[in-house]
Amino acid sequence: MQIIRHDRQGYPDSVAEQESLVAQVLCEEAKSTLILTEHPPLYTIGTSGRESDVLSRQVDGESIAVYPSGRGGEVTYHGPGQLICYVIADLRNDQDLHRHVHRLEEMAIRTLADFGIHAARDPRGIGVWVEGKKIAAVGVRCRKWITFHGIALNINPNLRHFSGIVPCGMSDAPVTSMRALGSNASRDEVEQSIRQHSAIFTNENSSYA
C-alpha cells in the first residue's frame, strides 16, 4: 500500500487529493493508498448528518469551519492532535463495505493496544470506543467499489471543540483521547503503529480479515 503523509492539510485540498487517487485507481494508474494527515479545526457533515447538529461555530476562542462531506455518517470534528487516516482501497474483488469498515476499526484497535489502551467496538455505533467514550470516528464513501475517507483517531486534540456539535448524532456519546487516557504517545509513534497495522488492507490471508 502506498503511503502519503502530510503535516497538516486543508479539508478541501484533502478531498481533492482523495478524489484524484480514486480516479487513478479506477484507471489502474495508482494502487491502494493510506493518507496520514491532520486538519485545522473543522466540522464535517456526513450524508446522514444535519446542519442542526452543529451547535456552535465559535468554541473555546476559535472559529471552526463547517464543510459538507460526501462520506457516510453524521457530524464530526477534525483538528490538530487528531490523526486522520484516509484509505483509498480497491474493493472491486471484495465487494463488502462492512468488512472494510471493520478493518478500519481493527487497525485503530490494534494501534491503541500497542500503547496499552484497550479499545473495542460498541453496539451504539460505528467507530472505536474506550469504556463508553469514542476515541476514533469512522466515515467512508465508496465509488464504483473504490473507497475513500476513513478514520480519525484522537491522540491529543482539544476535546472542548467537540462541544460545538452533536458528535455522530449522539448527544450521550462523550469523546476521549489517548492523552486523556494517560498516553503521551507522539503522532510519529502512532503513525508507525498505524503503518504496521495497515497491512490489514492488502493481506487477504491476514488474521485481521
| C-alpha to C-alpha distance for 158 and 15, rounded to whole angstroms | 23
Q: Which of 27, 85, 142, 168 is catalytic?
A: 168
State yes or no: is 27 an active-site residue.
no
pLDDT tens profile 110-125: 999 999 999 999 998 8
- Band the pLDDT of 169: cuts 50, 70, 90: low
- The pTM for the full model equals 0.93
What CATH number labels 2-201? 3.30.930.10
HEC string of 178-199 equals CCCCCCCCCHHHHHHHHHHHHH
pLDDT at 151 over 80: yes
pLDDT tens profile 177-187: 999 999 999 99
List the chain domain ranges: 2-201
| C-alpha to C-alpha distance for 15 and 12, rounded to whole angstroms | 5
Q: How many CB atoms lie within 10 A of CB 140?
A: 22
- Band the pLDDT of 74: cuts 50, 70, 90: confident
Pairing of strands 65-68, 42-45: parallel
Nearest residue to 161 via CA among 60, 93, 68, 81:
60
